[in-house]
A and B are shown apart, each in its own frame.
Chain A
Amino acid sequence: MSANRFNSHRNLGIGIGLRSPHISHILANWPDVNWFEIISENYMLDGGRPLYVLDQILERYPVVQHGVGLYVGSAQGLDHEHLRRTKTLVRRTQTPWLTDHLCWGSVDGKVSHDLLPLPYTREAADVAVRNIRAARAFLEVPFVVENVSSYAEFRESTMTEWEFLTEVVEAADAGILLDVNNIYVSSINHGFDPMTYLENIPHERVAQIHIAGHARYQRFVIDTHDHPVVDPVWRLYARAIELCGPTPTLLEWDANIPPFARVHAEARKAARYWPRIRQRDQERLAHAG
């Protein structure tokens, strides 16, 4: 289940996000990282240092593209210029799969630069399905949608988020980037059981898993990606691995970013839940000792 057609049958193991504060360390040391995830829009440039760095990374590591701007939930459809930019980058990175969010973010040419929640309605599902199919056809790479964290729910919703996600990915024949931190954040903000969410999605479509930290306030939780992963999220992750099998996993740490070693160590905690990786780590430790 873990290596499937939505991740090109490539189980890349545990990876981390490629972030500017770590670039010097990576280029100097070429650390033992299985793969990197990049934010696609950060590399939609005509030239300059980011592309130079990306090409150096691509020589040595698999890179998976993660977009934040396709807005497959936008009522007005996809931005074709953005699709073209995405495809240009896909050709450069040879990403084995492409992820973006099940959300919207622009209307009438105005862009929010946020991942805004959708009402869980038949109409919204139809829009998302149409947009995802169009994106998939144009980009010619497995297309995977991520569940977003949210702080608002719509009065007109007629289904749960997990029902909506399931409906969309099955109708669009897309994969799922299962963000267990987002499930946890949303479960606190909206008052549902995160395990119910986890257990009621099509696990055979899960191509990748995200883990991350968040910021907890008295009356709400914000998906900040600036803390270590907390135990409830690790419990969700463990259950996700049980349900989906060992799945390419990516730690997102995007703000207040600590040194590379700290972030890498946090990501590798996911190995606790992977029987074969745990064994390989133990063998490495034995050899190193």
Chain B
Amino acid sequence: MQAESQLHDVQARFLAALREPIFGDSRDRSALPARPGSVSATFTSTANDLITPSATLQPEERLELYHRQYWYRLLDSIEEDFPALRMLLGRASFWRLVEEYLVAAPPTSFTLRHLGASLADFIAAHPRLTPHPVQAQDVARLEYALRSAFEAGESPAIAASELAFASIALQPHVHLLALRTGADTLWRRCERGQSRGRLSPATARASRFVAVYRQSHDLRVERLPRAAFEILSAIDQSHSLDAAMDRVLAIPGLLRRRDSERVKRWFATWTAAGWFRRADHGPTPSSDNRRSP
């Protein structure tokens, strides 16, 4: 296997060079060569060791083409998936955050769709990297929930008459978020092409509750009353309607007897939207319209 380990070494060195941060002139896509000092000595030695010069480009320049392609592809993808976050932070802060994130969490998935999977957690762990860390974390969570809802599976919906007896869970495309900020408002402003507006301060505890879900192939963001959020969360955790209601009713002041009609209406809406599935039916690839072999 020695020869193949040589190929592995070549590939490892090459990819390590691509993953070196891209900053300054390189990020602005200026003409080659990169400004002296914008790549490391390791990058230069990798290029000179592995790559031949061409009639028009030196080895470092040839490697730099791939280096920039790597970063531009990732940065463009993140920007496409997190437009509200970009609006919140502004151009310079957004790119600084994203570059730090991608250095710390390089892509490991087969798809760029998963590139931002841990961005919210990264923001939470590095609050000094952004001017509005709590808002940024909430917005990143919401925008990645939209990415997840986009491609999540869907099991056959459970009928309302079965809710009380079956082991139930939420459809994989339904995401519940407890937010400390108006991230959903900011997201809507971004969707409508409006400016960021004034940011309200973050609350000490979660004060807004949001569902991100898919309906008729469209992605939706809907604010929920706290009681509705707690009911849905409890169902998804306990897989039992009875256990979920017991848990929620134990929260002081959350639900009163007079809320029963309101709760019934919620369940009517959720079951009509197909939000509930059998918990023992794992998420399946889209079953509707699938062609038989």
Q: Which chain A positions have C-beta within 8 A of B106?
A: 110-111
As a 0/1 sequence over residues 42 to 68 of chain A, the CB contacts with chain B under 8 angstroms (1 = contact) are 001111111110011010000000000
Bitwise, B74-117 to A at CB < 8 A (1) or not (0) is 10000000000000000000000000000000111111100000
Q: How far apart sit A155 and B283, CA to CA, in the bound complex (Å)?
A: 49
Tell me the smallest distance from the CB of B77 to a CB of chain A, in Å.
8
The listed residue (B10, B112, B150) touching A113 by CB distance below 8 A is B112
Please tell me the size bucket of the interface on B.
35 or more
On whether the beta carbons of B57 and A219 are closer than 8 Å, the reply is yes
Given A107-B11, A124-B7, is A154 in contact with B152 using a C-beta cutoff of 8 Å? no
Instruction: For B112, list chain A residues within 8 Å (CB).
Output: 113
The number of A-B residue pairs with CB atoms under 8 Å apart is: 157
The residue that A110 contacts in the complex, of B6, B19, B214, with Cβ under 8 A, is: B19
Contact A69 to B110, CB < 8 A, known contacts A51-B285, A107-B12, A153-B51: yes
A92-B73 in contact (CB<8A): no
Whether B286 pairs with A47 at a CB distance below 8 angstroms is yes
Instruction: Tell me whether A48 and B288 are in contact in the complex, defined as CB-CB below 8 angstroms, given that A127-B7, A155-B50, A219-B57 are known contacts.
Output: no
Query: Provided the pairs A88-B285, A110-B107, A152-B66 are in contact, do residues A123 and B6 lie with their beta carbons within 8 angstroms?
Result: yes
Q: Does A280 contact B (CB under 8 A)?
A: no
Minimal Cβ-Cβ distance residue in A for B115: A113
| A267: interface (CB < 8 Å) | no
Tell me, in angstroms, the Cα distance from A154 to B10 when the chains sit together: 10
The answer to whether A94 and B7 have CB atoms under 8 Å apart is no
A94 to chain B, nearest CB (A): 7
From A11-19, A71-79, A234-242, give the one contacting chain B. Answer: A71-79
Give residues in B with beta carbon < 8 Å to A.
Answer: 3-8, 10-12, 14-15, 18-19, 31-32, 49-52, 54-57, 59, 62-63, 65-66, 69-70, 73-74, 106-112, 149-154, 172-173, 214, 217, 283-286, 288-291, 293
